[in-house]
Amino acid sequence: MVFSSISFLYYFLPAVLLVYFMVPRRAKNLVLLVSSLFFYFCGEPVYLLLMIAVTLSGYLHGLWINRAKNGRYAKLSLISSIFFITAPLLFFKYTGFAINNVNALFGLKIPAPKLALPIGISFYTFQILSYTIDVYRGNARVQKSFIDFSAYVSLFPQLIAGPIVRYTTIESELSDRTHSLNDAAYGIKRFVIGLSKKVIIANSLGELGDILSQLGEKTVLLFWLKAISFMIQIYYDFSGYSDMAIGLGRIFGFHFPENFNYPFISKSLTEFWRRWHISLGTWFRDYVYIPLGGNRKGTVKWLRNIFIVWFLTGFWHGAEWNFIAWGLYFAVFLCAEKLFLHRLLDKAPVLLRRVYTLFFILVSFILFNGDGLAGCLADLKGMFGFLDAPVFNTETLYYFRSYAVTLLAAAVGSTPLPRKLADCLGKYKPAKDMLSFLEPVFQAALLLLVTAYLIDGSFNPFLYFRF
């Protein structure tokens, strides 16, 4: 089950909300837990038991870490938690990759198991790890209620694709949270906006990318159009899901962290990663980069730490060499910016800095989306005219013109311009009153439009399900 489905919007969610707000406060976490387990069961019935087992491991390790704190087994309890919590992720996500590379390296024929990746395992693994590590550090109190802890891990609003919600972020809200009409209204607004970003824009651009991939004759324009549409698609797909998660969380009384902050207006790649997938970046910063020493132990170790973090960031996204190359690609640029490029960028015009950033982001998403390293190289060659392909043809021009309005609207919508326009209008009372009236009407219209798209059975994947 996904958020952008009729079954979720008109059956599952209304039923959960009805029961949730009917039961007394002490039963609300149980309702969330049961509904979240059912939500996961609908998408991954086989791996529901795996998620429960990893959750139980995190819960028991939290109790052990708390009991062993400052004792002789304190580090052992933490190491044990890291091993048992990450073991399923390592097994399901990386076994095939490891065996295939051993076979290629040594000329062996070890059969690689074909394992389906459990949905959301990369996200809930990191959430449980943040809990056990923070209990060990003394940053979080141990959770003694298995129901409350399980509700935290399995919360369906953010279970499938984040944001990565740390235990400390909602620790107090698990036991004592408030509900209000203002929060519910904000949550509904945020959810509808995210749903619209996903269904209307991301799905349309995903459909374009699918069409372009299947065209017989390749052109330079095709490669550029495919790269740009994917870059915008993945932003709207993932940020739309994050908006929906944050909105649903607010309805249930939780304040989830922001995950995106207009990343395409960045003036450097360093700034881009402060604005893109914020919850993942801060997770690696706090649980890997800083424990390794950060930038406190000299330049060589500082650069080493950046490369370790970005190797792991790429590998977290997928067990393929192009994901590793994608992570190391950013490591190189971030090191260069920190060492000398920032001085040049600071002196450059703002427009040039933004063009530089967008171009190298675009190249990074070619690495991210490529069919292996060979496929990435072919796409890059195609973009710069090294495949002996025409600049454009009739088909490519047709699809460019057909999707030009969608691409332009998506580009403008990825900037703060619409919000700033609304803020400016809100300064004038007549305009503010009109916006207050039109906003719910607009949201209702968007929901109807999304429903029409979904009933029509349009292209509707979630890109981050595969991570």
Looking at the annotation, which residues are catalytic? Answer: 317
93 Cβ contact partners less than 8 Å away, ≥ 6 residues apart: 117, 121, 122, 319
Give the residue from 327, 300, 298, 301 showing the smallest Cα distance to 314. 327
What does the block give as tokens for 370? 């490529």
- The percent of the chain in helix, strand and coil, each rounded to the nearest 5, is 75, 0, 25
What is the token pair recorded at 327?
Answer: 């992570």
Of 258, 256, 208, nearest to 238 (Cα)?
A: 258
Per-residue CA distances from 445 to 195, 229, 451 (Å): 12, 25, 10
Please classify residue 346 by burial: count the beta carbons closer than 10 Å to its beta carbon, then call 0-12 exposed, 13-18 middle and 19+ buried: exposed
Asked if 242 and 163 touch (Cβ cutoff 8 Å), the reply is yes
Task: Identify whether 24 is preceded by a cis peptide bond (ω within 30 of 0).
Answer: no
Q: Are 131 and 167 contacting, i.e. CB atoms less than 8 angstroms apart? A: yes
